[in-house]
Structure 1
Amino acid sequence: MEKSIETIWKEGFLEANALVAPKLNNLYTQKSIHIVEKFKRMFQTNLRAIVIGGVVILGASFVVGIPVMGIMVFLIAGAVVLVNRILQKRLMEIEPNVSSYEYVKSFDHWLKEQIDINARMARFYYPFFFLSMVLGFWFSDYLPLVTRHLPSIYFVNGIPVFWLLGVLIIMGILYAVGGRLYKWDLQIVYGRVLKKLDEILSDMDKLRE
């Protein structure tokens, strides 16, 4: 009786001398390398986009008269890129000349570390992005226009107390949900690649049982 595909895959994965094993190993090696290389390209593109976006916002902020916001956004973007450049170097150190399973597991371990670090960073840079917009507006030429039309704003020593309280509350909310916002953004950008990675790891784990 002919073997089922599932049986052949299991034997090929578990028995090193099986005829089909080299083909399976080659298949998984190609698939795993393809997924990792695709992620590397997307990761590099994303970092470049952050740099370009930071520079564009910096330049535009001076043009429209809110340079404080532009400078803060540029510094925040620079910090994010710097940390991820360090993580990128660790990614490049993953040795591709090992078994496909070890290669994917090493990448998966790096990916989880990268997500954890960025999720923790997001709890700070999302609030500071918001703060940069507030301060950019506060130290711009547009503020007198608003205060002129809103004379009821309550100031204490030149500080709008209720506005400040509102800003702090929003920053607190962004701090609380920053990690979730990052993971949501991650799924938008890398969702399909991460799903394929999970599928490959799941298949390999099942075949190794």
Structure 2
Amino acid sequence: MTKSIEAMWKEGFVNEACLTAPKINDLYNRKSQNIVDKFKDMFDINIKAVIAGSLIMLIMMSFIGAPFLGIYIFCLLIPLIIIAKMELKKSVNLSKGQSSYDYLMNFNCWLESSIETYSGYYKVFYPLFFLGMAVQGIVSQAGGKLISLLVEVLPTDIIILGQPYYLVVAVVIVTLIFARSAEAIYRWDLNIVYGRQFKKLAELIADMEELRK
């Protein structure tokens, strides 16, 4: 009996040297390459955006009278840029001389590893970023006035680092919250930017795995 179309698709996909379904193989080859190229283009744009953002932040903070905060944030972003370039370089080394399924699975493994690497740094970045902003707010003129009003409302004799103890405690607690929630914040932000592509990648892998059965 003549093979069903579904059987021909599966056979052609499992054995890519077989010519029973060359169009199906070619379709998935192109889909795999297209989605990987899309990710790489987005990563490259993101790196350039971080570089531009760090320079803009440095200049903007200098203009508003907070040059040290600008330098501080700039220094926090430098490791992020280095990590991004290193991770993108790893993706370039993925071999294209393999089946579309293997290539896509290798890319997916690299993607998950890359996300874990970024996540590790963001656990440091987010709390330090908040801490820098908090310190700048405290030492600023406007911050000093607000703290004076706060002390009038909640007077205390316990002073830590020249500040009422409850303000220091509050800053420490929020910093720890950022450290604790850093991975969740990063993945939420990641999903906003790349969520659509993640969904396409998962769907493509699911389709290819179904055809391999």
Query: What is the TM-score of this pair, normalised by structure 1?
Result: 0.91
Unaligned runs of 5+ in 1: none
Deviation, 1:76, is: 1.2
Q: Shift of the alpha carbon at 1:47?
A: 1.1
Aligned-residue offset at 1:15: 4.4
Going from structure 1 to structure 2, the CA distance change for 1:12 and 1:119 (only over 3 Å counts) comes to same
Q: Is the 8 A contact 1:104 1:201 kept in 2?
A: yes
Shift of 1:97: 2.5
Cα displacement string for residues 130-185 of structure 1 (whole angstroms, at most 9, x for unaligned residues): 11111222333434333443443643451332111101111111111110111111
When structure 1 is superposed on structure 2, of 5-14 and 177-186 the one drifting more is 5-14
- Evaluate the alpha carbon distance shift between residue 37 and residue 89 of structure 1 in structure 2; reply closer, same or farther with a 3 A threshold: same
Q: Where does residue 24 of structure 2 map in the other structure?
A: 24
Q: Alignment length, in residue pairs?
A: 209
Task: Give matches, 1:49-198, under 5 Å.
Answer: 49-152=49-152, 154=156, 155-156=159-160, 158-198=162-202
Cα distance in structure 1, aligned partners of 2:43 and 2:205: 20
Q: For 1:33, what is the secondary structure of its paired residue?
A: helix
Report deviation, 1:65: 1.4
State, as a whole percentage, how many aligned pairs show the same letter. Answer: 35
Match of 1:45 in 2: 45
Give the letter for the 2:40 counterpart. Answer: K
Cα separation, 2, equivalents of 1:126 and 1:167: 13
Equivalent AA in structure 2 for residue 198 of structure 1 = A
Contact 2:123 2:180 in 1 (8 A): yes
Give SS of 1:94's match.
coil
TM-score normalised to structure 2 length: 0.89
Moved more, 11-20 or 187-196: 11-20
C-alpha distance in 1, partners of 2:4/2:68?
Answer: 66
- The residue matched to 1:91 in structure 2 has which SS? helix
Return the offset for 1:38.
0.5
- 1:117–1:15 distance in 2 versus 1, CA, 3 Å: closer
Aligned CA-pair RMSD: 1.9
CA contact (8 A) 1:57 1:70 kept: yes
What's the secondary structure of 1:177's corresponding residue? helix
